[in-house]
Amino acid sequence: MGQVGGKVFRTVEWAPGRANGRVYYPQTLLSSTDIPEDVKERARALLDDCTKSSVGAYSPSNGLFIVRHAVAEYISARDGVASSPEDIYMGSGASDVIKAVLTMFIEEVDGKPPELGIAQADYYLEENSNWALTTAELERSWHQASERHNVRALVVINPGNPTGQVLTRQNIEDIIKFAKHRNLFILADEVYQENIVSKPFYSFKKVMAEMGHPYSKMELASFVTLSKGWSAECGLRSGYVELVRLNPDVEQAFRTTRAVMQCPTVLGQCALHCVFSQELNHIHCVLTERTKTAFETFNSIPGYFCNELDGSMFAYPRVEIPERAQQAAKQHEMSPDEFYCWQLLEMTEMQHAKVAVL
């Protein structure tokens, strides 16, 4: 969407960077008058935490302390619930840590083997209730999956991809109660939390804490990434998971597994540190404006319906295909949606993925 990255972000990213193929100590850059003082200060702080002041050296496998500390401060301020740098594990994007957390569930339970490591049990959101996730649907999915598997974890993407909704606080409470009742570990994919334009964001961690006992004692993994939210710098591969109240033995095993892969890219970690700056407000304003345009544009097209966009960079509109177009599709021996996609491609050269046919 042409969003321009922030000044602090862009400059610091360069300051401790690479030149002529070798990682170097950026003394020249750090004394340059072309670089703003606040940027130099941040670059110095980051370099001070790097082994031998170089981004070319390994960091601790869970990430640079300065970055994990900044993340923990951000989370504490967001939730009003304390967060510890020791619970933060940096990764090469959120995918890296999501995969790492999922591997904790690959084991036989009560004699039922997991298929291909892990099996997926789908649940569906309700479009007519602004893509809410209902307990009834979760129960349906749980019962179906439990016939063949031990259901161990519940993955919730909030704000949603591709539906762009933000769960209400009540909805999150219901999901937490369901997870407690069914003894499920919640993986909260909260990577779009900074992309919200119209509603408050409630993290699972905050809601669990505020619900009190026994929910405030539940384990949780929450994921965030540099690929979304603040700056969408997905190529830098940086993200983190906060593991909350993890069983100490499991946490030790997780830590050991992460240590084997050395560390995520240090430049990516430095970039994540830079998002915690004043420039976020501007990014929010641009996003709000563009989300409104997308919502209004979709709903102005005849036959289109789109729920109001709460955030997360996605719109998930529905298209009604008229009777005449359905007849034409038949004549071309195509399904109506396939016919629609071809027409769209031929008339506008716009590519359209066939997602769901109702």
Ligand X SMILES: Cc1ncc(COP(=O)(O)O)c(C=O)c1O
Site for ligand X, rule CB under 6 A: 93-95, 157, 161, 189, 191, 225, 227, 234, 239
Comparing CB distances to ligand X, the nearer of 97 and 329 is 97
First to last CA, the chain: 30
How far is CA 215 from its chain centroid? 23
Here the tokens at position 94 are 């959120």
| CA distances in angstroms from 158 to 132, 194, 198, 224, 244, listed in the order given | 11, 11, 14, 11, 18
Report yes or no: 174 and 209 within 8 Å, Cβ to Cβ.
Answer: no
- Distance, in Å, from the CA atom of 309 to the CA atom of 256, rounded to the nearest integer, reads 41
Q: Where are the alpha helices (DSSP H) in the chain?
A: 7-14, 27-31, 37-49, 65-79, 94-102, 135-146, 169-181, 204-211, 248-260, 266-274, 280-300, 323-331, 336-348
Least distance in angstroms from the C-beta of 157 to ligand X: 5
Comparing CB distances to ligand X, the nearer of 6 and 239 is 239
Comparing CB distances to ligand X, the nearer of 161 and 168 is 161
Comparing CB distances to ligand X, the nearer of 153 and 325 is 153
Here the tokens at position 133 are 């996730």
Comparing CB distances to ligand X, the nearer of 124 and 304 is 124
Least distance in angstroms from the C-beta of 8 to ligand X: 21
Comparing CB distances to ligand X, the nearer of 157 and 274 is 157
Least distance in angstroms from the C-beta of 296 to ligand X: 24
Comparing CB distances to ligand X, the nearer of 83 and 238 is 238
How far is CA 59 from its chain centroid? 23
Least distance in angstroms from the C-beta of 156 to ligand X: 10
Comparing CB distances to ligand X, the nearer of 161 and 343 is 161
Least distance in angstroms from the C-beta of 64 to ligand X: 18
- Distance, in Å, from the CA atom of 173 to the CA atom of 210, rounded to the nearest integer, reads 10
Comparing CB distances to ligand X, the nearer of 190 and 340 is 190
Least distance in angstroms from the C-beta of 41 to ligand X: 27
Least distance in angstroms from the C-beta of 263 to ligand X: 16
Least distance in angstroms from the C-beta of 159 to ligand X: 9
Least distance in angstroms from the C-beta of 203 to ligand X: 15
Tell me the residue number closest to ligand X, measured at CB: 93
What DSSP assignment string belongs to 330-343? HHTT--HHHHHHHH
Here the tokens at position 6 are 């922030």
- Distance, in Å, from the CA atom of 185 to the CA atom of 193, rounded to the nearest integer, reads 20
What DSSP assignment string belongs to 251-312? HHHHHHHHHHT--S-HHHHHHHHHTSSTTHHHHHHHHHHHHHHHHHHHHHSTTEE-PPP-ST
Across 100-115, b (16+ Cβ under 10 Å) vs e yields: bbbebeeeeeeeeeee
- Distance, in Å, from the CA atom of 225 to the CA atom of 238, rounded to the nearest integer, reads 6
